[in-house]
Amino acid sequence: MAADQDLMRPDGEVNPIDTDYVVGQDNIIVKVGPFGLDIHNRVFAISGLSVVAFVLLALAFHEQAEPFFKGLRGWLTANLDWFFISSGNIFVIVCLALAISPLGRVRLGGTEAKPDYTYSGWFAMLFAAGMGIGLMFYGVSEPLSHFASSVGGTSVEGGVRTDWAPLGAAAGDNAGAAKLAMAATIYHWALHPWAIYAILALGLALFSFNKGLPLTVRSVFYPLLGERVWGWPGHVIDILAVFATLFGLATSLGLGASQASAGLNYLFDIPTGETTQILLVVGITSLALVSVVAGLDAGVKRLSEINMVLALLLMLFVIAVGPTLAIATGFVSNLGAYLQNLPALANPVGRDDANFSQGWTAFYWAWWISWSPFVGMFIARVSRGRTVREFIISVLIVPSLACVLWMTVFGQTAISQLVQDGYKAATEAELPLQLFAMLDALPLAQITSFLAIVLVVVFFVTSSDSGSLVIDVISAGGKIDAPVPQRVFWAVFEGLVAIVLILGGGLVALQAMAVSTGFPFTIVLLVATVAVIIGLSSEPRSSVSR
């Protein structure tokens, strides 16, 4: 996109998104700001100052933070689980409907647009940015948790609680429990999260590449708000997007730090705890800054491709030395179990598995939604030239199948170890350590565990640098080439927020902030879905649909 198109409305006039933008030499839009910064004053100031205040207050009231975050997470998931689950269902249905409708022939960037990236590079960036650390953290721990609760329930004063198990499963056979555990895990990592990403990514790409609006979340609402999108309604939308992105990323960075710390303790006896995790956040954020400075193609794209190779090597190794037959047959059977149980898992009301639907699903959906501005904008930036049908199939189906494969390989291996070999260490270990406990039962455990730590670190860097780029775009009013110091600011504060959440309660605090910022942005995303459909309806269809 030409530089002067970044701030153009469909009527050809400059968008009044910030009064400090002026027309410079050769009609190029330039920004007049202090210290050479290129910011949207209101969005950047309110977002930045709010984040700084949050960090200072969380540090000042460290002891009070943990019970506050625990109560906040519990209240939100207990009272809003139906809302999150229903919203996730809506996003999946809309995506599938768009893919098979005539609107699927709309091409992002216009009827003659060509893709900017090859399929291999595109898929690598989609997968690394969209899931990353979460797959490493939950690839073993979630299937094991669901399996254990489905087989034996949770004893409470001589009784058995089934609300921890997916669908309230009572104690049963190992084979049935394993299938249900894998189906529940896949439910959290397949169609629903990718539909959440796809909706916002599609809107951002459409209104930026096809309508000539700034690449920022407010632009998606132009069909509904009109010129008001450049005023305070738009400011609020972008500020909520910044908050959701920042705290969603901080959750992932905190999970990555805890898992890397557990791996270092397993390999080198380095003490675990807050100090180690904080040092890891500081060190890896420093690495992310190098990638931030390098930019999208030199930094994020290269790291994403490296990560894909490393992840593929680790997965192939587990397939080769693990229960190969169980993995091979499990992919199809787990996918079938997922589809069979999907209606019940996606039911938002009348559940008997309160801990599962609230403690797992509601948190996940809020987490994915808080990630949607980050992942959605990142996907949008690398998806020019694709048709809507190609876009949805690629963003929704391909990564979902990849997640099914990943969860099958690692989850099936861990469950097989538990059932066939009487292997107990995985379920006895803390969540961050369960991946390493599973690898310990396989050959070359030291090497594969070290590779897993490297993967966590690189996923950490990839999430941090691409997230910083996205937040900077939002806070700069849609400018995609803002000055490097702004990106550095956001990368640093992503790390600081992760640190204060680790100090304020660890995993509970991280999850609490993801849920609390995901809730208001769920409302934003539901309204954006309507705007996307309206925007697509006015676009010409491509004569060739891939």
Q: What is the pLDDT of residues 333-364, one digit of tens each?
A: 999 999 999 999 999 998 888 888 988 999 89
Out of 128-142, 159-173, 452-466, which region has the weakest mean confidence (pLDDT)? 159-173
Q: pLDDT digits over 404-450, tens only?
A: 999 999 999 999 888 776 545 445 567 788 889 899 889 999 999 99
For residue 73, the surrounding DSSP H or E stretch is helix 62-100
Nearest to 80 by CA among 497, 504, 521: 521
**What whole-number distance in Å separates Cα of residue 542 and Cα of residue 546?**
10
Q: How far is CA 374 from CA 158, 266, 301, 371, in A?
A: 46, 32, 15, 5
Average pLDDT, the chain: 81
Task: Give phi and psi for 160, each to the nearest 5.
Answer: -125, 120
- With a pLDDT cut of 90, the percent of the chain lying above it is 31
The pLDDT value recorded for residue 99 is 94
Residue owning tokens 């209104």: 207
The pLDDT value recorded for residue 337 is 94
- With a pLDDT cut of 70, the percent of the chain lying above it is 82
Count the domains in the chain: 1
Within a domain: residue 546?
A: no
Q: pLDDT digits over 266-292, tens only?
A: 888 888 888 898 999 898 888 878 777
Pairing of strands 29-31, 21-23: antiparallel
The pLDDT value recorded for residue 40 is 57
Q: How many alpha carbons lie under 13 Å from residue 490 in its C-beta half-sphere? A: 32
DSSP class of residue 107? B
The pLDDT value recorded for residue 252 is 81
Rounded-to-5 percentages of helix, strand, coil across the chain:
75, 5, 20
The pLDDT value recorded for residue 159 is 40
- Residue 153, pLDDT > 60, answer no
- Residue 143, pLDDT > 70, answer yes
Within a domain: residue 337?
A: yes
The pLDDT value recorded for residue 487 is 79
The pLDDT value recorded for residue 429 is 63
Within a domain: residue 318?
A: yes
Within a domain: residue 490?
A: yes
- pTM here is 0.85
The pLDDT value recorded for residue 449 is 92
**What whole-number distance in Å separates Cα of residue 408 and Cα of residue 322?**
12
The pLDDT value recorded for residue 85 is 96
The pLDDT value recorded for residue 320 is 95
The pLDDT value recorded for residue 523 is 95
Work out the average pLDDT over 98-120. Answer: 88
Out of 134-138, 399-403, 501-505, which region has the weakest mean confidence (pLDDT)? 501-505
Within a domain: residue 210?
A: yes
Do the Cβ atoms of 175 and 333 come closer than 8 Å? Answer: no
- Residue 46, pLDDT > 50, answer yes
Work out the average pLDDT over 361-382. Answer: 87
Q: pLDDT digits over 291-341, tens only?
A: 777 655 555 667 767 777 888 899 999 999 999 998 999 999 999 999 999
Confidence of residue 6 (pLDDT cuts 50, 70, 90): very low
Q: How many residues in total does the chain contain? A: 546
Within a domain: residue 277?
A: yes
The pLDDT value recorded for residue 324 is 93
DSSP class of residue 323? -
Confidence of residue 196 (pLDDT cuts 50, 70, 90): very high
Out of 107-111, 128-132, 190-194, 258-262, which region has the weakest mean confidence (pLDDT)? 128-132
Confidence of residue 103 (pLDDT cuts 50, 70, 90): very high
- Residue 96, pLDDT > 90, answer yes
**What whole-number distance in Å separates Cα of residue 480 and Cα of residue 489?**
16
Residue 538's Cβ-count burial label (10 Å; 0-12, 13-18, 19+) is exposed
Q: How far is CA 315 from CA 131, 324, 403, 447, 528, in A?
A: 15, 11, 12, 13, 37
Within a domain: residue 13?
A: no
Q: Which CATH number belongs to the domain containing residue 73 in this structure? A: 1.20.1740
- Residue 459, pLDDT > 50, answer yes
DSSP class of residue 397? I
Residue owning tokens 């409302």: 523
The pLDDT value recorded for residue 250 is 82
- Full residue range of the structural domain in which residue 487 is found: 42-537
Within a domain: residue 12?
A: no
Work out the average pLDDT over 27-42. Answer: 50
Nearest to 356 by CA among 527, 539, 142: 142
Q: pLDDT digits over 230-267, tens only?
A: 899 999 999 999 988 888 888 888 888 888 898 898 88
Confidence of residue 467 (pLDDT cuts 50, 70, 90): confident
